[in-house]
C-alpha cells in the first residue's frame, strides 16, 4: 500500500490540490483570529464553553503531568488543562497558524496563565515532539481543518505515553434526523451572515460550515482512532450529536 497522498482534497465543498489546503486554511484563520472567541460565543450560544468543560473533565490530568493541545487556537482547552496539571506540570499549546497562537498567548496572559504553559507553532500531521512525551493530547474543533486526518491522528497517538489518552472534540452529525434540516439552514444562512456582520468575512464562515459537512461522522472517526493504533475508543454525543467527543488510549 502506498503512503502517497492523493493529488486533491476538499476545502469545504471545493476540490483543491492537496498542497494548497493548509495555506487556504491559514488564510481563513488569519482573517478570523481576532474575533474567533466572540464568534464562537455567538455561533453556539455559549455552548462551546460547556463542550470544552466536558472535554477538560475527561482528560483525567493530575498535578505534575504533561499535556498537548493541538490546533489549540486561542487556548480554552490549554487553559483548563494548565489548571489541572498545576505549577509542576506542563501544557503545550500548538497551532499551525501564527495569528491564532498570538491571540492565544494574549488571552492566556490575560487569564494569568504563565509558567506551566508553552506555545509551539507546528503542523498536526508532523508534531515536533518525541515519542511518548505527553499524558494527554487534545484537539478541539481543529481536526476537520487538517489535510491528512489519518496522519494527524497517528502522530498524536505517537506522542502519547503508554496509558495516555487522546481526546478529539469536533462538530459531527446530529443524531436526530428531524434536527438536520434546521441545522443545515442555520449553518448556511445564519453563520455566514454573522461572519459578515461581526468578523467582516462571510466566506470564511461559509467554509467552516462546509467543512463540518465533509468531516467524518461519529462512527467513521471512531474507526480512524482505532486505525491510528489507539485502544478502548469511544465517543460521547453532545447537544444531540451536533458535537462529539472521541476518546482513545495508547497502551
Closest CA to 137 of 222, 68, 60: 68
Q: Please answer whether residues 238 and 170 qualify as being in contact, where contact means their C-beta atoms are separated by less than 8 angstroms.
A: no
| Helix 36-44 / helix 98-110 crossing angle, nearest 10 deg | 80
For cell 463540518, what's the residue?
A: 212
| Sequence-distant (≥ 6) Cβ neighbours of residue 245 within 8 angstroms | 51, 54, 55, 58, 167, 168, 169, 235, 236, 238
Q: Which domains does the chain have, with CATH numbers?
A: 8-176+205-249 (3.40.50.150)
* pLDDT tens-place string over residues 81-93: 999 999 999 999 9
Burial (CB count within 10 angstroms: exposed 0-12, middle 13-18, buried 19+), residue 153: buried
**pTM, to two decimals:** 0.90
Residue 116 has pLDDT above 80, yes or no: yes
Biggest CA-to-CA distance, the chain:
49
3 state DSSP class of 137? strand
pLDDT of residue 3: 55
H or E, element range at 80? helix 76-85
* pLDDT tens-place string over residues 156-188: 999 999 999 999 999 999 998 999 999 999 999
The residue-averaged pLDDT of 202-231 equals 94
Residue 1 has pLDDT above 50, yes or no: no
Amino acid at each position: 500500500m502506498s503512503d502517497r497522498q492523493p493529488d486533491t482534497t476538499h476545502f469545504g465543498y471545493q476540490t483543491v490540490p492537496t498542497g494548497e489546503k493548509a495555506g487556504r486554511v491559514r488564510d481563513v484563520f488569519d482573517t478570523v483570529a481576532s474575533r474567533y472567541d466572540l464568534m464562537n460565543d455567538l455561533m453556539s450560544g455559549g455552548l462551546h464553553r460547556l463542550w470544552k468543560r466536558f472535554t477538560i473533565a475527561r482528560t483525567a490530568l493530575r498535578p505534575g503531568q504533561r499535556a498537548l493541545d493541538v490546533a489549540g487556537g486561542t487556548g480554552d482547552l490549554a487553559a483548563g488543562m494548565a489548571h489541572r496539571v498545576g505549577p509542576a506540570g506542563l501544557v503545550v499549546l500548538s497551532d499551525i497558524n501564527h495569528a491564532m497562537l498570538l491571540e492565544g498567548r494574549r488571552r492566556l496572559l490575560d487569564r494569568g496563565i504563565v509558567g506551566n504553559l508553552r506555545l509551539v507553532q507546528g503542523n498536526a500531521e508532523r508534531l515536533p515532539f518525541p515519542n511518548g512525551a505527553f499524558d494527554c493530547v487534545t484537539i478541539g474543533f481543529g481536526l476537520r481543518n487538517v489535510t491528512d486526518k489519518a496522519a494527524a491522528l497517528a502522530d498524536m497517538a505517537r506522542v502519547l505515553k503508554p496509558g495516555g489518552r487522546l481526546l478529539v472534540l469536533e462538530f459531527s452529525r446530529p443524531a436526530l434526523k428531524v434536527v438536520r434540516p434546521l441545522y443545515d439552514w442555520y449553518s448556511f444562512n445564519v453563520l455566514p451572515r454573522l461572519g459578515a456582520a461581526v468578523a467582516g468575512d462571510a466566506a470564511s464562515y461559509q467554509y467552516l460550515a462546509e467543512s463540518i459537512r465533509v468531516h467524518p461522522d461519529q462512527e467513521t472517526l471512531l474507526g480512524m482512532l482505532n486505525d491510528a493504533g489507539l485502544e478502548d475508543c469511544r465517543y460521547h454525543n453532545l447537544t444531540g450529536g451536533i458535537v462529539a467527543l472521541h476518546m482513545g488510549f495508547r497502551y
